[in-house]
């Protein structure tokens, strides 16, 4: 059911937020991560431009007023080499600034303060515009036997019974479901679902897998989530 065309969609889209107000930056990082994006944050224009030029981002959320070099300068410099979609944030309400931003190559504009839901909606529009094939290929539902995931409503059911999952558990399950039958390592799960890029002592993945299992498998006869010792986890229907 899931061919190579869908395989490309496994990894979450990576966004870069360039914002110097640390509270807002953290709020965006957390909120966008919960929306399923992988989010990096830069707190000034210089770091932001460096990351944006060297990193592999699908979209930038760029604050207009930044220490070091401001948002417009970051954008102008970035556009010399990259066409990554840019959503600019600004506290400035002047029309000239808006025009300047768009002329410098911003793809969209959002005035502060903004509603988080509007930010997410604009990001989705820009990503869809930039990756029409990718978003079209994105399935709405994922299935494995009696397990069903509705990616739009973010609803998981098994044998018609609703599974009450946290955001991370849902993301974990949807990643494993997209790659059903494939052993996925703890390190990869930590990177993809938690955006953790270090060899850590924490057992965050194991704990989450255990919780997920208690909701996904425990009430049912046949387990779907299997541990492959020393390698990771796999989601599949096994013949008994
Ligand atoms: Ca600022």
CA separation for the pair 158, 215 (Å, rounded): 10
Give the integer Cα–Cα distance in Å for 137 and 5. Answer: 7
d(CA 13, CA 116): 18
- pLDDT value, residue 23: 93
Could you tell me the distance, in angstroms and rounded to a whole number, from the CA of residue 43 to the centre of ligand 1?
9
What pLDDT is attached to residue 196? 75
Distance 109 CA to ligand 1 centre (A): 14
Task: Name which of 149, 136, 117, 150 is nearest 34 in CA terms.
Answer: 117
Q: Is the pTM of this model over 0.75?
A: no
3-class secondary structure, 77: helix
Kindly give the interhelix angle for 186-194 and 204-216, rounded to the nearest 10 degrees.
90
Residue 16, SS3? strand
What single-letter DSSP state applies at residue 96? H
Q: Are strands 108-111 and 141-144 parallel, antiparallel or unpaired?
A: unpaired
How much distance in Å is there from the Cα of 196 to the middle of ligand 1? 27
Residues 6 or more apart from 111 whose CB is under 8 A from it?
Answer: 89, 90, 91, 93
CA 65 to ligand 1 center in whole angstroms: 4
- pLDDT for 1 equals 34
60 within 8 A of 16, measured Cβ to Cβ: yes
Q: What is the pLDDT along the chain (240 residues), one digit of tens a residue?
A: 333 333 334 357 899 999 999 999 999 999 998 888 899 999 999 999 999 999 999 999 999 989 889 999 999 999 999 999 999 998 766 667 767 777 778 898 888 888 888 898 899 889 988 877 665 555 678 999 999 998 877 899 999 999 999 988 999 999 999 899 999 988 888 888 887 766 665 788 999 999 999 999 999 999 999 999 988 999 999 986
How remote is the CA of residue 52 from the centroid of ligand 1, in Å? 17
Find, among 193, 151, 191, the residue nearest to 171 by Cα: 193
25 C-alpha to center of ligand 1: Å? 10
Cα(72) to centroid(ligand 1), Å: 12
The alpha carbon of 19 and the centre of ligand 1 are apart by a number of angstroms equal to: 6
Measured in Å, residue 192 CA sits from the centre of ligand 1 at 29
């Amino acid at each position: 059911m899931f061919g190579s065309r869908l395989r490309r969609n496994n990894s979450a889209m990576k966004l870069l937020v360039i914002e110097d107000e640390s509270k807002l930056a953290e709020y965006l990082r957390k909120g966008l991560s919960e929306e399923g994006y992988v989010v990096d944050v830069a707190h000034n224009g210089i770091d932001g431009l460096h990351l944006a030029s060297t990193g592999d981002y699908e979209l930038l959320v760029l604050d207009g007023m930044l220490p070091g070099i401001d948002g417009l300068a970051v954008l102008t410099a970035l556009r010399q080499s990259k066409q990554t979609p840019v959503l600019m944030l600004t506290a400035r309400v002047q029309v000239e600034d808006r025009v300047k931003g768009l002329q410098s190559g911003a793809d969209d504009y959002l005035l502060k303060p903004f509603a988080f839901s509007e930010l997410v909606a604009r990001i989705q529009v820009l990503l869809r515009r930039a990756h029409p094939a990718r978003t079209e290929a994105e399935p709405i539902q994922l299935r494995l036997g009696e397990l069903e995931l509705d990616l739009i409503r973010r609803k998981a059911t098994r044998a018609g019974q609703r599974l009450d999952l946290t955001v991370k558990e849902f993301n974990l399950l949807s990643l494993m479901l997209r790659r059903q039958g494939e052993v996925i390592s703890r390190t990869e799960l930590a990177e993809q679902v938690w955006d953790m890029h270090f060899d850590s002592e924490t057992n965050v993945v194991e704990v989450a897998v255990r919780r997920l299992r208690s909701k996904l498998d425990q009430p049912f006869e046949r387990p779907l989530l299997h541990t492959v010792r020393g390698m990771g986890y796999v989601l599949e229907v096994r013949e008994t």
